[in-house]
Structure 1
Amino acid sequence: MKIFIAELIGTFTLVLLGCGSAVLAGGEVGQLGIAFAFGLAIVAMAYGIGPISGCHVNPAVSFGAFVAGRLSMNAMFQYWAAQFIGATLGAGVLYLIATGKAGYDLAAGGLGQNGWGPGYLGEYNLVSALVFEVVATFLFLVVILGSTQKSAPGMLAGLAIGLTLTVIHIVGIQVTGVSVNPARSFGPAVIAGGTAITQLWLFLVAPLIGAALAGVLFKQKLLETE
């Protein structure tokens, strides 16, 4: 129960503050500010809930840990449940706050949902979106699994992970809005609906592929210290 609550709160925080930076303050802080909002939310939660759950707050991270042999299947599904619920609650609270502004329109303003193609940010195509999400998640998981292995300096893991998520956002916001996290994509898409729902499959599948590739490298001891 402690792990479930921790992961729910952590994913709730990531969606509320990360997506919230885009929806509530995007015009003021810009792309760089949004990138740091996501990264700093992860840093904060890494130290806040990390001692309890490891601060996965991301189904791809839990899946990567499972593939690497660090997490059981049953535990992974428990993590997933907490993460998807937390992300949906975070998106719901963000929507409630956003609607308090005169003139807010969900269809126009959105909830920080991910996407690609005509009308979405840089208007990158499906291939670009798929490649970015797989590769970015792979690199993200390499940092996460590498910085949390036994020989790594544990106190610095949260900072390394948060900064990695920041730079991934700096590079990729114009491509997909950056998911690398199926729950982060799921919550806003469920409430926003429309294209966000029809494109959601990519942000569920691609991060899991990238996470699996990283997990295999650690499972095979290619990046794991002995």
Structure 2
Amino acid sequence: MSNVQKGLAEFIGTFWLVFGGCGSAVLAAAFPDVGIGLLGVSLAFGLTVVTMAYAIGHISGCHLNPAVTVGLWAGGRFAARDIPLYVAAQVLGAIVAAFLLYYVASGAGSFDPATNQLASNGFGDASPGKYDVWSGLIIEILLTAFFLWIIMGSTDGRAPAGFAPLAIGLGLTLIHLISIPVTNTSVNPARSTGPALVVGGIALQQLWLFWVAPLIGGALGGWLYRTIGADSFPKPNIEGN
């Protein structure tokens, strides 16, 4: 696949993750009488990854997340030279999705951007459960590390073929079930950047944590799997890695 094809696939996939995941929180979670709640939002994020993993996994690998891209590099599965392309495509996809979601949500007269932060991430006063910065930092690092462990393990050469998208999507669902009350769940700098740029304010001020923590966690998870399972998958022949 060409770099253009890979970049467009990552753009489309990350757009779907943000529009589908954040859209479920903004448009459906608080809907009167039939709101889907925390479980529904968690499942929506997982489903975006499952569907796109089957749709574009053979094109770009379906990273949809700068922390996954960096983690796969740390795990020896991705070339360093391709990181800027993937991260740029992911962030652009997330931004476009957030702006379109904001436009759709604004079509309802009851939508108030001052109170509905477009499913943005935060800590302290911006945390759904008012968790402090250290709680947010720890949980984002830990859960992103486990997310990379799941990704690398389920795509290992010894793992059952064809089930990786399900394991990864269910892993992301579980991550959301754990951490929505703490940070509204990021584990993905692109997913955090889109809504933060649209709503501004405290979401944009706190965006740094949702780059720093997932990138640390992703690199840690990828490196740990590479170290512990060094002989469990064929080593890729990637120049510059």
1:223 pairs with 2:229: yes
- Asked if structure 1 preserves the Cα contact closer than 8 Å seen for 2:126 and 2:203, the reply is no
**Amino acid in structure 1 at the alignment position of 2:224:** L
| SS of the residue 2:114 aligns to | helix
Q: Which residue of 2 aligns with 1:198?
A: 205
1:67-86 to structure 2, matched below 5 A, reads 67-86=74-93
Q: Which residue of 1 aligns with 2:140?
A: 133
1:211 to 206, 218, 229: 218
Q: Which residue of 2 aligns with 1:16?
A: 19
Q: Residues 162-210 of structure 1, C-alpha deviation per residue, up to 9 Å, x if partnerless?
A: 0000011011100000000000000000111000011000000000111
| Residue 58 (structure 1) shift | 0.4
1:160 to 159, 164, 167: 167
Which sections of structure 1, spanning at least 5 residues, go unmatched? none
Query: Residues of 2 paired with 1:203 and 1:19: CA distance?
Result: 15
**Amino acid in structure 2 at the alignment position of 1:42:** V
| Residue 153 (structure 1) shift | 2.2
1:96 pairs with 2:103: yes
TM-score between the two structures when normalised by the length of structure 1: 0.97
Query: Residues of 2 paired with 1:46 and 1:219: CA distance?
Result: 22
- Asked if structure 1 preserves the Cα contact closer than 8 Å seen for 2:29 and 2:41, the reply is yes
Query: Residues of 2 paired with 1:119 and 1:217: CA distance?
Result: 32
Query: Residues of 1 paired with 2:137 and 2:6: CA distance?
Result: 31
Number of aligned residues: 225
Query: Residues of 1 paired with 2:74 and 2:126: CA distance?
Result: 36
Query: Residues of 1 paired with 2:190 and 2:129: CA distance?
Result: 23
TM-score between the two structures when normalised by the length of structure 2: 0.91
- Asked if structure 1 preserves the Cα contact closer than 8 Å seen for 2:126 and 2:202, the reply is no
**Amino acid in structure 1 at the alignment position of 2:71:** G
Q: Which structure's residues are more often helix, by fraction?
A: 1
| Residue 71 (structure 1) shift | 1.1
1:57-76 to structure 2, matched below 5 A, reads 57-76=64-83
| SS of the residue 1:154 aligns to | coil
| SS of the residue 1:155 aligns to | coil
1:147 pairs with 2:154: yes
Which sections of structure 2, spanning at least 5 residues, go unmatched? 234-241
Q: Which residue of 2 aligns with 1:5?
A: 8
Query: Residues of 2 paired with 1:211 and 1:223: CA distance?
Result: 16
Query: Residues of 1 paired with 2:126 and 2:134: CA distance?
Result: 16
**Amino acid in structure 1 at the alignment position of 2:159:** A
Question: Bigger radius of gyration, 1 or 2?
Answer: 2
Query: Residues of 2 paired with 1:8 and 1:216: CA distance?
Result: 26
1:53 to 47, 52, 60: 60
| SS of the residue 1:49 aligns to | helix
Q: 1:140 to 1:103 in 2, by over 3 A?
A: same
Q: Which residue of 2 aligns with 1:179?
A: 186
Extract structure 1 runs of 4+ deviating beyond 3 A: none
**Amino acid in structure 2 at the alignment position of 1:184:** R
When the two chains are superposed, the root-mean-square deviation of aligned CA atoms in Å is 1.0
